Amino acid sequence: MNKAEIIALVERYFSAVDGGDFGAVAATLTPDCVFSVETHGVELNGLDDIKPMFDKLWADHAAVRHQDFVHVPAPGDSRIATRFQVVNTHHDGTLVHKSNCNFFEVQDGKFSRVSVYMAGPNTLEGG
């Protein structure tokens, strides 16, 4: 994949997360994807482990939004780092703002590993 394709894959992933659509999230991940929240000691292996985490994220929030992306693609290494802002809306309307960074590894046009570095409390706890 070239730079533009890897960036488009990242943005498709975040659009699916923000839309609460696990089918679309899963379409960006390999079946055996390793998903870790490095700052909180979480590691999930495969779509069956990853899905409950997203289900909990969406159940715990009225809305989730990722924005202000800064991408650093390394297509020759099939990797990309992305820094971004997160705005989580709780059910009572309060907003939580975070600055996060994800590192993605690409295999056959999908992410085989997603490593999350998250400011503040872990909003991606296992399901």
pTM (2 decimals)? Answer: 0.93
Residue 70, Cβ density class (10 Å: 0-12 exposed, 13-18 middle, ≥19 buried): exposed
State the CATH architecture for 3-118: Roll (3.10)
Question: What pLDDT score was predicted for residue 127?
Answer: 43
Provide the pLDDT for residue 122: 66
Task: Name residue, tokens 């991408």.
Answer: 71
Q: What is the pLDDT of residue 119?
A: 81
Domain boundaries, the chain: 3-118
pLDDT at residue number 95: 93
Helical H segments across the chain, by residue range: 3-18, 22-26, 47-60
Which parts of the chain sit beneath pLDDT 50?
Answer: 127
Number of H helices, E strands in the chain: 3, 6
